[in-house]
Structure 1
């Protein structure tokens, strides 16, 4: 059965601001490799629109191999976008979801194939509440951001996690790989 893997970048103080991290060649290669091992990635509208930046590198490569390779990987992977406002995706490999998140996840998990990645803060929060994440990959950048959305903001649920491995990058970023150990408990 496929795994649901939530993968996201964040600052040391928990902000999910795409401008606050330190993406370098090593991190671009890591995420390009990660995308090449997955079947589909799920995005909310805001993150999806941020990721559309990579389409410009398909038409006009940057000349930086790691960025251009990531652009190819993000273009190739199937994307499902959850939005109430978008009418079209503008990307051949992306489609708008016509079903609720939980229903899509349960359908995808039953199929054979590669894993399912979730790359949006809002979807990660929803899936934690639904107890549907099999692995959480937190890439923590050595930055303290003054503002931004907190990854686990307003999450009134306790989820115990087991650290299963780590990966350290030369720039000081670290990925913590966690697996939920028990069912989540709602906290009043």
Structure 2
């Protein structure tokens, strides 16, 4: 059985919206798209390669899927560690509106079936393989609220924005995590891997 992992780029103030470019996602009047790019370095690249090496399948929200589907099928180098996995492995899209996806290997999952399908997909993966979620803000929040994330990779970049969609939803269940891995990249990104340990607990010093 595999596990579901969520990998997300966030700013110091927790913003995850439009890391890759100004036109990626301007919802809500967001004007700071592309905030990650100046900090991308070989350390981030090395982690990304390791991450995709563990992939067994992908689960994406509709918006992220459409961004990926517009870019990655055009990358056909079989030695590319990202393109080869995204193009060759099964892709599942959580959507009630997507019809007839053109990217080979894509299955659309309606929201009502999503939780049971996640269990089925994980059961079908080899041990140590991952059902990977990348970005996909609304889907990520849906998964976190329902305790469906087995492992969380936070790539924290040294920039503060003060606006934008944040990762952790208001009203989510208070959850404690254990840190299982960490690294710092040359340009100051911190990559943290956490696993949930159960409900958060509260106490007073002394």
Q: Normalising to structure 1: TM-score of the pair? A: 0.82
> Partners of 2:116 and 2:195 in 1: how far apart?
22
In structure 2, the CA distance between the partners of 1:165 and 1:29, relative to structure 1 (3 Å rule), is: closer
2:184 corresponds to 1:152: no
| Structure 2 counterpart of 1:20 | 35
**Structure 2 matches for 1:105-144, cutoff 5 A?**
105-113=118-126, 114-119=129-134, 120-144=136-160
| Structure 2 counterpart of 1:45 | 62
Q: Which moved more, 1:47-56 or 1:13-22?
A: 47-56
What SS does the corresponding residue of 1:40 show, helix, strand or coil?
Answer: strand
**Structure 2 matches for 1:50-65, cutoff 5 A?**
50-55=67-72, 57-58=74-75
Partner deviation per Cα, 1:76-133 (whole Å, 9 max, x = no partner): 3321011122112221132212562211111123224122112222222222222222
In structure 2, the CA distance between the partners of 1:72 and 1:29, relative to structure 1 (3 Å rule), is: farther
In structure 2, the CA distance between the partners of 1:57 and 1:168, relative to structure 1 (3 Å rule), is: farther
| Structure 1 counterpart of 2:192 | 176
> Partners of 1:56 and 1:91 in 2: how far apart?
7
> Partners of 1:25 and 1:57 in 2: how far apart?
23
Q: Which moved more, 1:139-148 or 1:37-46?
A: 139-148
Give structure 2 stretches of 5+ with no counterpart: 20-33, 202-206
> Partners of 1:112 and 1:74 in 2: how far apart?
16
Which of 91, 94, 115 matches 1:82?
A: 94
Q: Which moved more, 1:118-127 or 1:48-57?
A: 48-57
Q: Normalising to structure 2: TM-score of the pair? A: 0.76
What SS does the corresponding residue of 1:181 show, helix, strand or coil?
Answer: strand
> Partners of 1:132 and 1:3 in 2: how far apart?
9
| Structure 2 counterpart of 1:93 | 105
Count of aligned pairs:
179
